[in-house]
Amino acid sequence: MSEKVYINGIGALSSQGQWHHDLFREAKELSRAVTPVNAPSYKGLIAPGMLRRMSSGVKMGIYASQQALDEASISIPEAIITGTGLGCLIDSEKFLHGVLDNQEEFLTPTAFIQSTHNTVAAQIALRLGCNGYNFTYVHRSVSFESALLDALMQLQDDQASTVLVGGVDEISPHTYRLLQLAGQIKQNDRNERVKNSESIGVNYAEGATFFTLSTLRTQTSYAQLVDLTLQHELNKEEVTVLVADFMARQDRDHQLIDALVVGINGDCQYDGYYDEFSRLFDNIPVLYYKHLTGQYDTASAFGLAVAARVLKEQEIPEVLYWNSDRATTGLRNILVYNQFNGKDHSLTLVRVC
């Protein structure tokens, strides 16, 4: 019998600021092509000398991870697992500019050292003095979900009792400009929201979302993380198979879904996957969040935070409703679905605890 796994702490930084109680009441819908994080002061958490050298991704990661650990009253987790779609873009770009602009001369190692994809997980381990398991997944829109699957397996199969898991992605100007040229990010002069999106591309942003997972249920527990599955490719018609296969392997009392959290981001071409998904469930609330966080590869981690928070509070903030169906009974099971460009699908099941 597998251990039960609980979400005992959440930390996040997004365009809406840090994870806090009134976040959804104060949240403002994004309408710009690119919105930076609304970052707090990192003073006190990170030494001034380090603060100057660290890119925003590392700082966001450290902040959000510490928030998640603090809430769960954990000082050193047994494993640290992160996901990032594009990695440490700022330092990568900085080093690349140096290589290209100066014909491979006058380079210094700092940016290169910090450009490695596992920098955030490594820096968290370094500051906590954590010698445990330390993995980083870098696979587009399932970067976070890969980390989450690993974390679940650490707790269910590999005898770990506390795991820190999170996702982080940062904005860097040149790469985001290129993603605009490639049609992934909306043009600067568009001023569209997720609900009235009509041009190609989506509104992008940056952020970090971390969770302290544990096999122990505590006073701070938000919800139980039951299971998740990843799938590389499927057609819209196959969404029903993905969901049916996933639900079939769950216990019966987990099969009654009370609400959905979806990664709808205003992408005219691929949001149809979420319509297919929602259609499989009758008259239950469908919640979205990327109108608040923007799109980035690990934004889906915020979707899990939304589900966990709703289960804990047993209340759905008005700003999260995608449809008009309201919850009629208590909220027990929430299913979270995300994909990007019709690829990298993930389903995550969370349950009240």
Partner 1 sequence: MSKPKVAVTGMGIVSAIGLTVEENLYALLNGRHGVSRLENFSSKWNSDIFVGEIKYTNEQLTGMLALDPGKPYTRTTLLGIYAARQAIRSAGLKDLSGSRTGLISATSVGGMDYTERYFYDYLTDPSLRPYITTHDAGDSSQQIAHDLGINGLVTTISTACSSAANAIMMGARLIASGRLDRVIVGGTDALSKFTINGFNTLMILSDERCRPFDNERKGLNLGEAAAYLILESEESVNAEQKEVLAYLAGYGNANDAFHQTASSADGQGAYLAIGKALKSAGVEASFVDYINVHGTGTVNNDLSEGHALLRTFGEDVPLFSSTKGFTGHTLAAAAAIEAVYSILAIRHDKVFANLNFQHPMQEFSFVPQSTVLQRSIACVLSNSFGFGGNCSTLIFTEQ
Bridge partners, 350 (sequence order): 225, 334
Q: Which stretch binds partner 1 (CB under 8 A): 140-148, 190-198, 218-226, 316-324?
A: 140-148
CA distances from 176 to 35, 257, 344 (A): 11, 37, 21
> d(Cα 166, Cα 155) in Å, to the nearest integer?
15
b/e sequence 311-345, b meaning 16+ C-beta within 10 Å: bbeeebbebbebeebeeeeebbbbbbbbbbeeebb
Choose which of 20, 177, 193, 279 interacts with partner 1 (CB under 8 A).
177
Part of the chain binding partner 1 (CB under 8 A), chosen from 23-31, 119-127, 262-270, 274-282 = 119-127
Q: How many CB atoms lie within 10 A of CB 8?
A: 27
Q: Is 87 in the site for partner 1 (CB under 8 A)?
A: yes
Binding to partner 1 in span 331-350, by CB under 8 A: 343-344
Q: Which of 150, 192, 206, 271 binds partner 1 (CB under 8 A)?
A: 150
d(CA 278, CA 259): 10
Q: Which H helix or E strand runs over 174? A: helix 173-181
What is the size of the binding site for partner 1 (CB under 8 A)? Answer: 67
Binding mask 98-117 for partner 1 (x = CB under 8 A): xxx--xxx-xxx--xxxxxx
Place of tokens 């969770």: 211
Pair 346, 277: CB distance under 8 Å: no
- CA 250/CA 205 separation, integer angstroms: 34
Among 14, 15, 56, 143, binds partner 1 (CB under 8 A): 143
Q: Minimum Å distance from CB 178 to partner 1?
A: 5
If binding is defined by CB under 8 A, does position 78 make contact with partner 1?
no
CB-nearer residue toward partner 1: 177 or 217: 177
CB of 114 to partner 1, least distance (A): 7
Q: Identify residues 244-283 at the interface with partner 1 (CB under 8 A).
A: 245
Q: How far is the CB of 104 from partner 1 (least distance, A)?
A: 4
Nearer to partner 1, 136 or 221 (CB): 136
Instruction: Determine if 175 is a binding residue for partner 1 (CB under 8 A).
Output: yes
